[in-house]
Every structure is written in C-alpha cells, then in structure tokens.
Structure 1
C-alpha cells in the first residue's frame, strides 16, 4: 500500500473542506453585518421632527405608513367669533367691507391621518368643500371655494376676521387664505402646515420674493429643497390671489380626517 499517496489525498480533501468552511463562514458574517444597516436606513420608528412643528396638536404619533395628528380645531389667537371673553376681540383688521357672519367658534375632536411618505397620485382627486389640511396651530385649511356649490370667495372673504379665518355654520373655524397670525409669528416664508395628502404648505414668500401663481403648477405647488426637507419635496405655497392654497386638487393621495 502506498501510504504517501493516501496521505496526499487526505491532505487535499482536508484543505478543500477547510476552504469551503471559510467561504460559508465569511458569507454568513457579511450578510449579518449588512442587514441591520439596511433596516436602520428604511424604518422610521418615531415621528419626524418636522411634524412636531404642529404645535396646536394634542397628540402626534405614527400608525403604519401614516402620521396621526389630533387637534381641537380652535385658533390660539383672539377673534370676534369667540364667545369666551378671554379670547374675544373686536374686529380690527383692514377690510372696509368686513361683515361678521352669525357663527361662533366651537371645539372639535379632529383626527388627521396623513401619509408619512407622500407620493404623486396617479389620479389627482379634487379637494373637498371642508377640511383639506391642518395648519401649525391645529386650525383646518379649507379650499378656495364657498359652499354649497363651489362659489368664489368674493363675498365670503368679507367675513374673515383680522387673522383671515372664520367659522362655518357648524362652528368650525378655518382658513381659506393666508393665516395672518401664523405668518406674523413664524414668518411669511415658513412652513404653515400640511394638506391631507401629506405634502407641506409654505407661506407667501420664497427666497425673499413673493410667490406668484405663475410660479406654481396646476396644484399650486412645486418641487425643490426646503429648510425642513433638505432632500427636496413637492410643496404647496399660499399666494395672495385665488386659488390661495391649493389649485386643481391634491398633488398626492389624500389621507383622512375624522371629527
């Protein structure tokens, strides 16, 4: 028997098996090292700080792929529409045609559920006659029409208080146009809230210049970086002429609001 030949065969097999074991060990280790990084990059486990700017919220939390925002819908500024003496203030605005409507401000239990990662809709739905978004102080945004039949705001605008809001017949206070209390406090170029599709709403100034309707698309927005979204995002702008906040519907797919 040739023992030298047997020893050589045994040694060759041992080297092959050892090399194979090293290969699988290295592959397994490499997979374990990369998987946690992938999960960390994609999974959001807490509310992003930008939504915490909605200071009028009583609660903000994540629910699946949505940000849930709870507010009572009442403004944190005075108004002639308040019955509470501590919040009441006579109209002292600049509209010579101001005419107070008969409604009063009441509190609601509003729950906004908006997409955490909004995307452009394949079919852009019209905004409703009612709540289409939430401002930083928890007051609802309404669209550019007066009810019940999508009428221009020509007459209704004369009932806006000194901060550009007023209540509905069901006592819900809301803004159709620039919320003057917020732009005075936060700046005319600031983030002012979100529409139900999850895209942000910014003020009437951008880069030191007043935003004109001609600067925006049919939905009343455009895409670029902002201080809050350094990677860029589609966003709406408020302007001083109709359609004021939103144009021909939601850019993205709207979430929900309940009361």
Structure 2
C-alpha cells in the first residue's frame, strides 16, 4: 500500500510539473553586459544585445582593450579567422514559461542568451555536425565568433562560472527556462541526471519553489539535448 501511495504521489508531482507555469521576472536583474538591455512587454521579456563579451579574447580586434592572446589550456587550440563584431540581436522570450505540448528542436545560431549578453548556441557546429573539431577554436573562456563576428557559447561559459560559481544562473533559452552551471548543491551534474532536453525540475536559489531548468555539463550535448522543453519565443538577428 505504501508503494502504491508513493507512486501516486510521484505521478501527481509529475503532473503538476508538466502543467506548471513559471515566473522568471526574479532573475532579470542578473542580466548585465556591454550593449545589453531588456524590457517587459506583456507576457514577454524582450532582450536587445550587441552580443559583446565582457571578457578578454584573442578574437577581439588587436586594438581593443579586451584583446588578449590565448591563455587557455587546450594544446589543440587553433584560432579561427573571425573577429568579434557588434550585433543587433533581439530575443523575445516568454516571461511565464511552461512545458510545451509539442517540443521543438533548437536551430543553428542563437538559441538563448547568457547573463552577460552573449548568445548561446546548441551542440552542433553545422547541420548534425558535432563540435569535435570546432571546439578547438574556443578561446580561454570557451567561446568564439562565427563568420559575421557573432560571438557565442556552445559549452560552459567559464568566465561566468568563474565569476558567479559553478551552480550559478547563467542565462535563458528562448523558451524562457533558465540555464544553470554544472553543479547543483554538492553534486556535479552529468547527462545521466538530466532528461532528453538536458534539464530537470528542482529547487534553485532563485526559484525556491522549484522550476524546470537546463544544466551545462562537460559532455555532449553540453547545454541542450533534443530541443526546447518549453515553447520558444522569437529571435531576430
């Protein structure tokens, strides 16, 4: 009987989680960066970003104050030919996200925004191409620019986890659900801890009543798995 009651409680909890609507307004004041702003418009938060990292990189033009030679630890590092350039990216993201009835795959290009205004990309270097080779072009903070100068993170943004902690809030995906670092409590998160979308439901410092959220991990798919857990808003570049 006890086992039956436990199963019923778990089923009820899963049902509540699947129908939950969250309010992400408590974390909006954590967003701060060069050329980054946001406004609330009805049920959406609209971010406008120039996508300029607030840290050093060998991808800055040589005359920029943030230009730095590569200081990372990857012996296979090879700088790509691109240079960081200001962008005009607008992300219209749900302020009250919830689980989508039909899940959507993430596209190539920007899929969300980090708290310093740099955009997140998914786990692919191109259509169904893993990051195996491209990862060697990531700078000391594990980001790099693509051909038009759009700087982005595919994997852990170590500048942010060094600054705010391995368990910190790192940003939002386009569905409005938060991204956290690779630690939760005293536990290092692995892919086995997460669902097919690379997330799970639990309490966080910012959401003590619990929220579905994504985690950065050290292995593919790093940030997002099979797609958005919620319904994504719109991203224009």
**What's the TM-score, normalizing by structure 1?**
0.80
Query: Unaligned regions of 5+ residues in structure 1, if any?
Result: 1-43
Aligned to 1:121: 100
Aligned to 1:106: 85
Higher helix share: 1
Q: What's the offset of the Cα at 1:94?
A: 0.4
Alignment partners' CA distance in 2, 1:256 and 1:77: 27
Per-residue deviation, residues 176-232 of structure 1 (Å, max 9, x unmatched): 000010000000000000000000000011112210100000000000111111221
Q: What's the offset of the Cα at 1:120?
A: 0.6
Asked if the contact 2:25/2:95 (under 8 Å) is kept, the reply is no
* Matched ranges for 1:175-254 at <5 A: 175-254=153-232
Aligned to 2:14: none
Alignment partners' CA distance in 1, 2:183 and 2:148: 33
Asked if the contact 1:78/1:87 (under 8 Å) is kept, the reply is yes
Asked if the contact 2:58/2:69 (under 8 Å) is kept, the reply is yes
Aligned to 2:51: 73
Match of 2:129, SS state, is: coil
Aligned to 1:51: 28
Match of 1:248, SS state, is: coil
Query: Unaligned regions of 5+ residues in structure 2, if any?
Result: 1-22
In terms of Rg, which structure is larger?
A: 1
Asked if the contact 1:177/1:238 (under 8 Å) is kept, the reply is yes
Match of 2:200, SS state, is: strand
Per-residue deviation, residues 53-102 of structure 1 (Å, max 9, x unmatched): 01126322111110111211010001000004311100010000000000
Asked if the contact 2:26/2:206 (under 8 Å) is kept, the reply is no
Higher strand share: 2
**What's the TM-score, normalizing by structure 2?**
0.87
Q: Say how many residue pairs are matched.
A: 213
Per-residue deviation, residues 152-188 of structure 1 (Å, max 9, x unmatched): 0000000000000000011100000000100000000
Q: What's the offset of the Cα at 1:111?
A: 1.3
Aligned with 1:137 (options 110, 113, 116): 116
CA RMSD of aligned residues (A): 1.3
Alignment partners' CA distance in 2, 1:69 and 1:174: 16
